[in-house]
Amino acid sequence: MSPKRKPAPEPESDDGSPLAALRRKRGLAFYTVASMAGISPPVVRRAERGEPVLADNLVAIATALEVEPAQVFALWLAAASARIEREAE
């Protein structure tokens, strides 16, 4: 009998990312969301960081999280605004 493998640890996420907080509240790893949304894990990470992503990918993430796309767009926009403010400092 082979020993069970531990899942790979989730990489550090941006603290305070509202989209990451929603994902964690749903009990999902970003790898799981990516798989459910049919997109690559780096796209989920970029969305959580407020980096540029296609609107279609945000809709796919919303579908995976079982929320309205407008909610994901708002959370992404909040993360993008925070990222822009940090970069401006």
Q: In Å, how far are 35, 61, 82 from 58, measured between CA atoms?
A: 14, 5, 18
Q: Domain coordinates of the chain in residue numbers?
A: 18-88
Q: Which CATH number fits domain 18-88: 3.40.50.300, 1.10.260.40, 3.90.1530.10, 1.10.1520.10?
A: 1.10.260.40
> What is the model's pTM?
0.81
Q: Could you report the per-residue pLDDT of 7-56, keeping only the tens digit for each? A: 444 554 455 799 999 999 999 998 999 999 999 999 999 999 999 999 99
What is the per-residue burial (b if ≥16 Cβ within 10 Å, else e) of 46-78?
Answer: bbbbbeebeeebbebbbbbbeeebeebbebbee
d(CA 89, CA 85): 7
pLDDT at 89: 84
